[in-house]
């Protein structure tokens, strides 16, 4: 799996694990950040990659990233945000922001990097969805909708681009210990843990291993799929 790989949200918990794992696989990794520049630069320094700013909601930022990176063989749409609250208590502005980052952001990046993949008839796209995109979560309605959208996007794009030699898949993580879940109290975490059949929380490396597999030649006949990494929480 040699070649350029670009990981949006590479400065986050799962993003960091993705960047480190893909570098182990021989990729030259572009560690993208939106605001966490120092963290991205540290990761890039460790793995011989490059940190670049990429706000997935900003067309100018996406365009600049394409100019810097050029052809990327692997695009991982990982950037994401979440917000917890009853659907009608969250503002339309928050709702729009979640869709902008999680779904439209992935579409923006894909639209920008896809033409060169099509021209070269090779490429791999991995979208990081969520188990809530598969089954829906109470108090995370906007988030669930955005992640369900990513699954639909993955399936449709896989059909459209397969004739061009491009594979598109999803990884659908369960409850992974990162900053995103730091809002939960110890009591809440214990209740959630009891709902996980394997009895432990996921780690970022679990998601990274699944993505590395989907990006590898071992997955050369796999496209349009959703690979769940959730300890059995959603089957
Ligand atoms: P995290 O640690 O909070 O990281 C989120 C990442 O998204 C950060 O790198 C952040 O960049 C980036 N980001 C936010 N807004 C952005 C924007 N406008 N443009 C570009 N990047 C932006 O979260 P995580 O747990 O690693 O989550 C990574 C992905 O996995 C997300 O899509 C999330 O929905 C998904 N996921 C997570 C879990 C979980 O339990 N943790 C479960 C299922 C799915 P900066 O810090 O540089 O701003």
CATH of the domain at 215: 3.40.50.720
CA distance 91 to 173: 26
The reported pLDDT for the residue numbered 2 is 76
**How many domains is the chain partitioned into structurally?**
1
For residue 98, the enclosing domain spans 3-229
Rounded to the nearest angstrom, the distance between the alpha carbon of 88 and the centre of ligand 1 is 24
Question: For residue 129, which atom of ligand 1 is closest to its CA?
Answer: 44
Closest listed residue to residue 140, CA positions, set 90, 182, 200: 90
CA distance 146 to 137: 12
Q: How far is CA 181 from CA 20, 167, 178, in A?
A: 21, 30, 6
Residue 194 lies in a domain: yes
Angle between helices 105-120 and 59-69 (to 10 degrees): 30
pLDDT one digit per residue (tens) for the chain, 235 residues: 679 999 999 999 999 999 999 999 999 999 999 999 999 999 999 999 999 999 999 999 999 999 999 999 999 999 999 999 999 999 999 999 999 999 999 999 999 999 999 999 999 999 999 999 999 999 999 999 999 999 999 999 999 999 999 999 999 999 999 999 999 999 999 999 999 999 999 999 999 999 999 999 999 999 999 999 999 999 9
CA distance 19 to 6: 8
Q: Phi/psi of residue 210, each to 5°?
A: -65, -40
Rounded to the nearest angstrom, the distance between the alpha carbon of 128 and the centre of ligand 1 is 9
Kindly name the residue from 33, 113, 132, 143 that is annotated as catalytic.
Answer: 143
b/e burial code for range 185-214 (CB count within 10 A of at least 16 → b): eeeeeeeeeeebeeeebbbbbbbbbbbbbb
Q: Report the side by side order of strands in the sheet with 27-33.
A: 50-53, 27-33, 3-7, 74-77, 123-128, 166-173, 226-229
Rounded to the nearest angstrom, the distance between the alpha carbon of 33 and the centre of ligand 1 is 10
The reported pLDDT for the residue numbered 78 is 98
Structure-token pair, residue 208:
């990274």
Residue 173 lies in a domain: yes
Residue 138 lies in a domain: yes
The reported pLDDT for the residue numbered 192 is 95
Residue 151 lies in a domain: yes
Closest listed residue to residue 66, CA positions, set 123, 126, 116, 122: 116
Question: SS in 3 state form for 6-46?
Answer: EECCCCCHHHHHHHHHHHHCCEEEEEEECCCHHHHHHHHHH
Residue 120 lies in a domain: yes
Residue 219 lies in a domain: yes
How much is the pTM?
Answer: 0.98
Residue 223 lies in a domain: yes
Residue 235 lies in a domain: no
CA distance 204 to 78: 12
33 assigned to active site: no
């Amino acid at each position: 799996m040699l070649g350029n790989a670009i990981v949006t949200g590479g400065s986050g918990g799962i993003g960091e694990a993705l960047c480190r794992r893909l570098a182990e696989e021989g990729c030259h990794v572009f560690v993208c950040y939106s605001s966490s520049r120092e963290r991205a630069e540290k990761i890039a320094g460790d793995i011989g990659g490059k940190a670049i700013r990429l706000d997935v909601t900003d067309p100018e930022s996406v365009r600049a990233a394409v100019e810097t990176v050029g052809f990327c063989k692997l695009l991982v749409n990982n950037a994401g945000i979440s917000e917890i609250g009853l659907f009608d208590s969250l503002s339309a502005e928050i709702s729009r922001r979640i869709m902008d980052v999680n779904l439209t952001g992935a579409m923006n990046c894909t639209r920008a990097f896809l033409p060169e993949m099509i021209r070269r008839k090779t490429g791999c796209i991995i979208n990081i969805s969520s188990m809530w995109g598969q089954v829906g979560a109470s108090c995370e309605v906007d988030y669930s909708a955005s992640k369900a959208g990513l699954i639909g996007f993955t399936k449709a794009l896989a059909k459209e681009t397969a004739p061009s030699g491009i594979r598109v898949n999803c990884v659908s993580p369960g409850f992974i210990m990162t900053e995103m879940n730091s809002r939960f109290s110890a009591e809440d975490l214990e209740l959630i843990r009891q709902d996980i059949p394997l009895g432990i929380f996921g780690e970022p490396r679990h998601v990274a291993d699944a993505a590395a597999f989907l990006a590898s030649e071992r997955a050369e006949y796999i496209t349009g799929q959703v690979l769940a990494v959730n300890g059995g929480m959603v089957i």
